[in-house]
A = this chain, B = another copy of it.
Amino acid sequence: MDIKITVREVAGIIKGEVDGDPEAVLNGFSKIEGATAGTITFLSNPAYEQFLYSTGATAVIVAKDFKPSSKVATTLIRVENPYASVAVLLEKFSPRQHPQPGVHAMSVISETAVCGKDLSAGAFTYVGKNTKIGNNVVLYPQVFIGDNCEIGNDTVLYPGVKVMASCKVGSFCTIHSGCVIGSDGFGFAPTDTANYRKVPQTGNVIIEDYVEIGANTTIDRATLGSTTIRRGVKLDNLIQIAHNVEIGANTVIAAQSGVSGSTKVGENCMIGGQVGIVGHITIADGVKIAAQSGIASSIEEKESIIQGSPAFDIGKYRRSYAAFKNLSDLLSRVNELEKKVNSDVKTEKKK
């Protein structure tokens, strides 16, 4: 945001109410801790409220119903959803500058590939045979797209993304660097001689529209049929999606989680980081899974919130874990009880 704009104008864009000086001039964004005069910042996570009372920012976007617990020197802009408002402003004033349309001389686009208008294809990028690419697609340098693929309109593939043969990526998708789409699923049939025969992975990966996939994440192609990432899914970095998995629409998965083969994850789920999910199960819609949990069987109840490895109800897990923290004490207490009770019993018997 390298411009001059008043608090009033910003409030207009994000439909906010100004609580302070509407004529104050803003020239950039900042983080609430350590912000300087002339900047605008936001308060969304309550853990940061402490910084509101000392921030140097000229304006702070807060929730409509936010009640300061102390005196605030800065101007507040009150909105429904502060985080979404920041997204709106950053999108408007700090949009990502992608490479301009044009095909670099040191790229390879197969003659049988069909490309839409305004393609940007960077240096050392490769597009295979019979592949179809939509309009306004950005292929950064060093991208690989195999034969018979499809890439939808307005999709961006960052450097080093690999989309293997026959895979499909929808429109308005963003795939970050080093991501691999369509590597072989991990399928090996044991043989009589203690080694394995590879099961050819003949399917593909289908990624629907508005999906974002993080850096170095891997999504394996199906053995038969498709591994499917539904519309609006957001996958973080270093995630593993195995063959024949389906991730339901608008589900969000944090970094380093893995979903094993043929599992079907519902819509609108929220899955924490480093979660592992076994194969061949179903996760209901709206399920929330705490970080580092392991899911060993189907979760049938929608909206359940679970933790543990294997995971169960999060409240129950936390009570169990609280008791676990003092488990050696509990053991001592039971030892003590046994001594008492057995001596009582002996006393009884003697009597």
Which residues of A are at the interface with B, using a C-beta cutoff of 8 A? 29-31, 41, 45, 47-48, 81, 83-84, 86-88, 90-91, 94-97, 104, 106, 108, 122-124, 126, 140-142, 144, 146-147, 158-160, 162, 164-165, 174, 176-178, 180, 183-184, 186-191, 194-200, 202, 210, 212, 214-216, 218, 220, 223-225, 232, 234, 236-238, 240, 242, 244, 249-250, 252, 254-256, 258, 260, 268, 273-274, 276, 278, 280, 291-292, 294, 309-310, 312, 316, 319-328, 330-331, 333-334, 337-338, 340-341, 344-345, 347-348
Q: How far is the CB of A131 from chain B (nearest CB, A)?
A: 13
Q: Which residue of the partner chain B has the closest CB to A200?
A: B90
Whether A160 and B162, one on each chain, are in contact in the complex, defined by CB atoms closer than 8 angstroms, is: yes
Q: Which residue of the partner chain B has the closest CB to A255?
A: B240
Residues of the B chain whose Cβ atoms lie less than 8 Å from the Cβ of A330 = 323, 330-331, 334
Contact flag A320-B309 (CB < 8 Å), given A162-B159, A218-B214, A276-B291: no
Whether B237 and A220, one on each chain, are in contact in the complex, defined by CB atoms closer than 8 angstroms, is: yes
Question: Would you give 23 A-B contacts (Cβ < 8 Å), ordered by A?
Answer: A29-B202, A29-B224, A31-B225, A47-B280, A81-B191, A84-B190, A87-B189, A91-B200, A123-B124, A141-B144, A144-B160, A160-B162, A174-B184, A174-B198, A176-B184, A183-B237, A194-B250, A195-B210, A215-B218, A215-B220, A242-B255, A312-B325, A324-B327
Cα–Cα distance between A278 and B238 once the two chains are bound (Å)? 16
Q: Which residue of the partner chain B has the closest CB to A294?
A: B292
Q: Which residue of the partner chain B has the closest CB to A81?
A: B189
Whether B333 and A327, one on each chain, are in contact in the complex, defined by CB atoms closer than 8 angstroms, is: no
Residues of the B chain whose Cβ atoms lie less than 8 Å from the Cβ of A240 = 236-238, 255-256, 273
Whether B258 and A274, one on each chain, are in contact in the complex, defined by CB atoms closer than 8 angstroms, is: yes
